[in-house]
Amino acid sequence: MSQINFEKKILKNGLTVIYHSDPNTPFVVVNTLYKVGSKNELHHKTGFAHLFEHLMFEGTPNIPYFDGPLQEAGGENNAFTNNDYTNYYDFVPATNAEIPFWMEADRMQNLKINATSLKLQKKVVIEEFKENYINQPYGDIQHILRTMVYQKHPYQWPTIGKDIGHIKDATLKEVKDFYHQYYSPNNAILVVAGNIESDKTFELVEKWFSDIPTQNQSSLEIAQEPIQTSAREKTHLANVPENMIILAFQMPGRLEKGYFEGDLITDILSSGPSSRLEYQLVKERALFSDIDAYITGSIDTGMFVIEGRIHNGIDIQVAKDAIWEELKNLQENDISDIELEKVKNQMLTYMRFSDASLLNKAISLAYYEMLGNAQLINEEADEYENISKEDIRDFAKKYLNFSQSNTLYYLSKA
């Protein structure tokens, strides 16, 4: 196995720094992960972490227009927010490697937030909400599904927020408090990767980040989701061309036993044309026009989801039963050696291609460090490799049961 090597250092102010050398690229990536996501929001003020991500590009007294210097340096930057964390990355030619250090350190402590920028970014985020969740057929599935699977945990709303009203209502004070509460060196992980020397990296880190003050962390306790004990069902009518059925189950969190099994099972079910759901239900029986199994991969209790679009004219019960037959099959029969090896091979190749990208490596290192240890990046392949037939069956028996299922009938009004 090829290892991804790195060095780690924690500054006095609590900032965790990971360095990874890649001399084969002319670029450097500076990736900053803040340990705050939509799970840190209150149920009546959702979409906040993501709205805040937009505000991080609104500039500081030193750098009034955030994207300016980075673009001038020949670089690119962007960010994403999910339920668990918010991640910012800067990708620059190595000759301008210091630029993102300066910029990220600056917005970690000097962000300028005012009523004008807040008002503007609210409008932008509302258009984003409409573009991706309302003006798309089936666009609100995550909104509905999450409220079924999660009754306590803040995973019950998607990162964009429960509804547009919450974004409209965000106040300047709340935004400023959020910044002080979560955007500090002791709540961040900085990854520097690419064509830059180790000494140079730590020298620049020292220069730009070491005097940023630590902030007191007073995170809200996150309510954990109790284990589901009875089946839940919901029917939703919408203007869509075909019926859809979505089955969701709770599954272990990212660091819990069973996580990797769950992930591999979704590959058995729907990765590639020879996967079970794809072959049996789309091809052979022609019940679905499209079907997909995936996991959400969250740190706390996650979701294992199967969603399929049903051909018009096919009875929805027949389609549902067909999915259940496949799940029963997983519970009752061992997977063959060949099929197990197949999904493992697919996973390994996928991971290798993903590691060929500098940006992917930088983001992954930050993510694993947030989970507790960046070294996990090198252990993941073994986790998948060690999964046995019994593990697959055990997972299916333990988690993919009717009494723990959530069924969403997303039906066409027509």
Partner 1 sequence: MKFKTAPTIHSLNVPEFKVPERTTLKNQIDIFEFPGIVPEISRVDIVFNSGKWTESAPMIANSVAKLFKSGTRRQNAYQMSESIDFLGSTINVYAGYHGFTIAIYSMKKNLIKTLNLMMECLNENIFPEDELENYIKNLQSKQLIREEKTELIADRALKNSIFGKNHPYGYEAAQEFIEQLSLEEIRKYFLNEIQAKKPTIYISGTFGDEEIKFIDQLFSEEVYREQEDNIEHIITASSDYIQNIKKEKSAQTSLAIGMQSIHKSHEDYAFLSLTNTIFGGYFGSRLMSNIREEKGYTYGIYSILQTYKRSGAIFVQTETSHEHAKSCVNEVKTEIQKLQEVLIGDEEMKQARNYLLGKYLSRMDGAFSQMELYKNFQIEGVDIQYFNKFADTILNMSKGVVRDMAQKHYNFETMYQITVGN
Output the smallest distance, CB 372 to partner 1, in A.
25
Structure tokens at 224: 């954990």
CB nearer partner 1, residue 148 or residue 268: 268
Give the integer Cα–Cα distance in Å for 94 and 412: 53
| Complex with partner 1: residue 213 or 226, whichever CB lies closer | 213
Please report how close the Cβ of residue 161 comes to partner 1 at its closest, in angstroms: 14
Q: How far is the CB of 353 from partner 1 (least distance, A)?
A: 6
Closer CB to partner 1, 26 or 226, in the complex:
26
* Closer CB to partner 1, 127 or 332, in the complex: 127
Question: Residue 199: exposed, middle, or buried by beta-carbon count in 10 A (0-12, 13-18, 19+)?
Answer: exposed
Torsional sign, CA 378, 259, 8, 66: positive
Helices 337-355 and 389-399 sit at what angle, rounded to 10 degrees? 90
Minimum distance, C-beta of residue 344 to partner 1, in the bound complex (Å)? 8
Say what angle helices 259-270 and 337-355 make with each other, to 10 degrees.
Answer: 100
Question: Pairing mode, if any, of strands 302-310 and 244-251?
Answer: antiparallel
Please, which residue, 123 or 397, has the CB nearer to partner 1?
Answer: 123
Contact 33, 367 (CB under 8 A): yes
Residues pairing with 18 in the sheet: 8, 191
Distance CA 389, CA 336 (A): 8
- Of 227 and 273, which has the nearer Cβ to partner 1? 273
Helix orientation angle between 115-129 and 172-182, rounded to the nearest 10 degrees: 90
In the complex, the smallest distance separating the C-beta of residue 134 from partner 1, rounded to whole angstroms, is 4
We find the least distance from the C-beta atom of residue 137 to partner 1, in angstroms, to be 4
Smaller CB separation from partner 1, 289 or 401: 289
Choose between 99 and 247: whose C-beta lies nearer to partner 1: 99
Residue 273 has a CB neighbour count (10 Å cut-off) of: 8
- At its nearest, how many Å lie between partner 1 and the CB of residue 93? 6
- The minimum distance between CB 210 and partner 1, in angstroms, equals 10
In 199-329 the beta strands, taken as DSSP E runs, fall at 232-238, 244-251, 288-295, 302-310
Q: Give the containing element (helix H, strand E) for 55.
A: helix 48-55
| Helix intervals (H) in 113-248 | 115-129, 141-149, 164-169, 172-182, 198-209
